[in-house]
Amino acid sequence: MKRSLLAALVLVGAVALPVSNLAAQRRVVPFFGGGVASGNGDLSDDTDTGWLGYVGFDVPLSLTPGLSVGVTASYAHIPYKGSFNEAMNIPGLFAEVGYVIGERSSFPVKPFLRGGLGLEVHKYDPGSTAFREESETGLSFSGGGGLGMRVASVMVFGGAQYVTNGDAGYLAIHGGVAFPGKAARGASRTLRSVFAR
């Protein structure tokens, strides 16, 4: 009887431990950020540097440390040169895959890669010109990378991202903040030992 009970407890523990680890690591990590954006392709003609803002979330995949899937909503504003206030406004929604290189490394600064596919609307604002407003919706690709650094329960990051629909796009230099929660005790001890040197 005792052996059966012990065997059952061991079996339940063996099943419950990976499931609890999986549940703990599959938390949602929100983030937001912004930066400067410059037009490329068809958007490189007669345009000035504009701005980009974005918000989204990632879901870390516990089976592969550093790998995550997520969704990003972005809005870019690329102004045209001149005094007519013309601009291309580009809202977008992307499904992306991210990878943090050396996720389990003790080094506090970690490089990352990110890319995905989504939908963008290129909305031409004629400003004070006599032209008409126009908009075009289509598939777009995003890809880029950068560096992130964990500070307590926050990840501060910066990088570059290129977004294009094949004809027109923009390159953004950006920074932001993610909220992955508190680091594991072992990781925090490692960080303290690194900064203490």
Number of domains in the chain: 1
Q: What is the DSSP letter of 49?
A: -
Residue ranges of E strands in the chain: 29-41, 50-60, 67-79, 87-100, 109-125, 134-151, 154-164, 168-178
Task: Tell me the residue range of the domain where 130 lies.
Answer: 26-196
pLDDT score, position 92: 98
Token pair of 40 as six digits: 């490329």
Q: Is residue 37 part of a domain?
A: yes
Contact present, 59 and 45 (Cβ < 8 Å)? no
The model's confidence at residue 73, banded by pLDDT at 50, 70 and 90, is very high
Q: Is residue 2 part of a domain?
A: no
Q: Is residue 172 part of a domain?
A: yes
Token pair of 134 as six digits: 């126009």
pTM of the model: 0.78
Token pair of 127 as six digits: 């400003």
- How many other C-beta atoms can be found within 10 angstroms of the C-beta atom of residue 150? 19
Whole-number percent of the chain with pLDDT over 70: 79
pLDDT score, position 182: 73
The model's confidence at residue 184, banded by pLDDT at 50, 70 and 90, is low
Answer whether residue 8 shows pLDDT above 80: no
The model's confidence at residue 1, banded by pLDDT at 50, 70 and 90, is very low
Answer whether residue 143 shows pLDDT above 50: yes
Q: Is residue 16 part of a domain?
A: no
Whole-number percent of the chain with pLDDT over 90: 70
Tell me what the mean pLDDT of segment 100-123 comes to. Answer: 95
Q: Is residue 7 part of a domain?
A: no
Bigger pLDDT: 22 vs 33: 33
For residue 96, the domain's CATH number is: 2.40.160.20
Q: Is residue 18 part of a domain?
A: no
Tell me what the mean pLDDT of segment 87-113 comes to. Answer: 95
In residues, how long is the chain? 197
Phi, psi of 167 (to 5 degrees): -110, -45
Q: Is residue 94 part of a domain?
A: yes
Q: Is residue 76 part of a domain?
A: yes
